[in-house]
Amino acid sequence: MANKPNSTIAPADGKLGILIPGMGAVTSTFIAGVEAVKRGLGLPIGSLTQMATIRLGKRTDGRSPKIKDFVPLASLESLVFGGWDIYEDNGYEAAVRANVLERPILDQLKEPLSAIKPMKAVFDHEYVKRINGPNVKTGANKMVLAEALMQDIQDFKAHNNCARLVMIWCGSTEVFHRPAAVHQTLASFEEGLRNNDPDIAPSQIYAYAALRLRVPFANGAPNLTTDIPALQELARTNEVPICGKDFKTGQTYMKTLLAPGFKARMLGVRGWFSTNILGNRDGEVLEDPGSFKSKEETKLSVLEQILQPELYPELYGNLYHAVRINYYPPRGDAKEGWDNIDIFGWLGYPMQIKIDFLCRDSILAAPLVLDLVLFLDLAQRSGMKGIQEWLSFYFKGPMTAPGLYPEHDIFIQLMKLKNTLRWMQGEDLITHLGLEYYD
């Protein structure tokens, strides 16, 4: 990759509007968190854009600025939030209902959170079965609904005096579906919108509306959404960056930490059984087999790609991998993820590892939302378009260009992310290859 002069990145002037379909646990925790950080009530822990540094040049140079001081990111003060939901709860009510952050902190943020009122959603019960709400748009066909969303986006931008926008899907997980004929070209997709084609999901209508208006789009759920040629074509033609899918938080995050470690040491893996209990609305939606299938696909794909059984059949050719999610209301958002890993070493001797991760789903997801919206905005100001593979770091099922396999190893993903930032600013890429031995 050639070095790129930094003069091509447009400055982050003015307000950046963050538009979010789905204002539930993740969204309310994200927005409340940003408002809390702005007021000095907490730290943005888990966010690379706010906390991480990036090494530049040789190790002896001693140059390690914070990422936010190295690339021109939008500031937290410049962010404005809006979104859609099928429920009418405002941002404060949604946060109280989600029960992730505690009341004392939420009450200090009541004013900015209450001001965020969800716009009427584009919703289809066939795609998310377990919930129903009143705050829903009606329209003669899906194209009319897409146009209504475009109107919402333009109104939001004008009303809040935003210079730029980004959209990130934090709505419920839609049922699993494969790309169909209607998804193949932009022309067939637009025809399908006008004909109310049942294969077009609500998340795809939001994505279409965003991309038509040149608003970058990220997908935090495992839905198909922009993983189709039609919307990728629109992203390229309109020069808009997109990325997805399914935030890499709790259990899969652990998997992408451990699996590269086993492979690095050539340790075998015979089985990996993962089960979860969670009691939030996300867990309720995932009780539906169609929605669970979407989640299962992204969760299962990770190990296969990291361990490469086709290259290491003796170590990983016979791996049994199972993932379960159990809805258990008493836990709310405080999920528990258990993993039993059967590994083997020297001469095939078996060993076991048990992990019990008592995590908080939305606490892990919120900083990812922040980084993604800031990086997508940066990407757009840098003239980058289409699938942003350098943001794979954040996803369980990273989108890739057709024909390429996704990179799941979190350490390779991090290197790719940081090297992309170095490249944007015309700095040398860091390969960690120490050629000093030959000097």
Ligand X SMILES: NC(=O)c1ccc[n+]([C@@H]2O[C@H](COP(=O)([O-])OP(=O)(O)OC[C@H]3O[C@@H](n4cnc5c(N)ncnc54)[C@H](O)[C@@H]3O)[C@@H](O)[C@H]2O)c1
Handedness of CA 358, 362, 365, 367 (dihedral sign): negative
Q: Exposed, middle or buried by CB within 10 Å (0-12, 13-18, 19+), for 423? A: middle
Binder to ligand X among 34, 71, 86, 269 (CB under 6 A)?
A: 86
Restricting to residues 363-382, which ones interact with ligand X according to CB under 6 A?
A: 364-365
Asked if 325 is part of the footprint of ligand X (rule: CB under 6 A), the reply reads no
Closer of 173 and 274 to ligand X (Cβ)? 173
Least Cβ distance, residue 76 to ligand X (angstroms): 21
Asked if 277 is part of the footprint of ligand X (rule: CB under 6 A), the reply reads no
Closer of 246 and 389 to ligand X (Cβ)? 246
Q: Which residue is nearest to ligand X (CB)?
A: 24
How many H helices and E strands in the chain? Answer: 16, 11
Which range binds ligand X by CB under 6 A, 84-92, 151-159, 263-271, 420-428? 84-92
C-alpha 103/C-alpha 279 separation (Å) is 19
Closer of 39 and 125 to ligand X (Cβ)? 125
Binder to ligand X among 17, 44, 91, 202 (CB under 6 A)?
A: 202
Binder to ligand X among 92, 123, 156, 292 (CB under 6 A)?
A: 123
Asked if 85 is part of the footprint of ligand X (rule: CB under 6 A), the reply reads yes
Least Cβ distance, residue 101 to ligand X (angstroms): 13
SS3 387: strand
Asked if 170 is part of the footprint of ligand X (rule: CB under 6 A), the reply reads yes
Contact 365, 251 (CB under 8 A): no
Asked if 100 is part of the footprint of ligand X (rule: CB under 6 A), the reply reads no
SS3 152: helix
Asked if 408 is part of the footprint of ligand X (rule: CB under 6 A), the reply reads no
Least Cβ distance, residue 2 to ligand X (angstroms): 35
Asked if 24 is part of the footprint of ligand X (rule: CB under 6 A), the reply reads yes
Asked if 280 is part of the footprint of ligand X (rule: CB under 6 A), the reply reads yes
Contacts with ligand X, 171-190, as mask; x by CB under 6 A: xxx-----------------
Asked if 327 is part of the footprint of ligand X (rule: CB under 6 A), the reply reads no
Q: Exposed, middle or buried by CB within 10 Å (0-12, 13-18, 19+), for 130? A: middle
Binder to ligand X among 12, 16, 18, 26 (CB under 6 A)?
A: 26
Asked if 337 is part of the footprint of ligand X (rule: CB under 6 A), the reply reads no
Size, binding site for ligand X by CB under 6 A? 37
Number of CB atoms found within 10 A of residue 107's CB: 12
Asked if 220 is part of the footprint of ligand X (rule: CB under 6 A), the reply reads yes
Restricting to residues 226-255, which ones interact with ligand X according to CB under 6 A?
A: 246-247, 249-250
SS3 5: coil
Tokens linked to 41: 């009530």
Long-range contacts of 69-74 (CB under 8 A, 24+ apart): 70/421, 70/425, 71/9, 71/378, 71/421, 71/424, 71/425, 72/9, 72/11, 72/12, 72/378, 72/381, 73/12, 73/49, 73/374, 73/375, 73/377, 73/378, 74/12, 74/16, 74/164, 74/374, 74/377, 74/378
Pairing outcome for strands 79-85 and 15-21: parallel
Q: Exposed, middle or buried by CB within 10 Å (0-12, 13-18, 19+), for 340? A: middle
Asked if 25 is part of the footprint of ligand X (rule: CB under 6 A), the reply reads yes
Residues making contact with ligand X (CB under 6 A): 21-27, 84-87, 98, 121-123, 128, 131, 133, 170-173, 202, 220-221, 246-247, 249-250, 280-282, 285, 361-362, 364-365
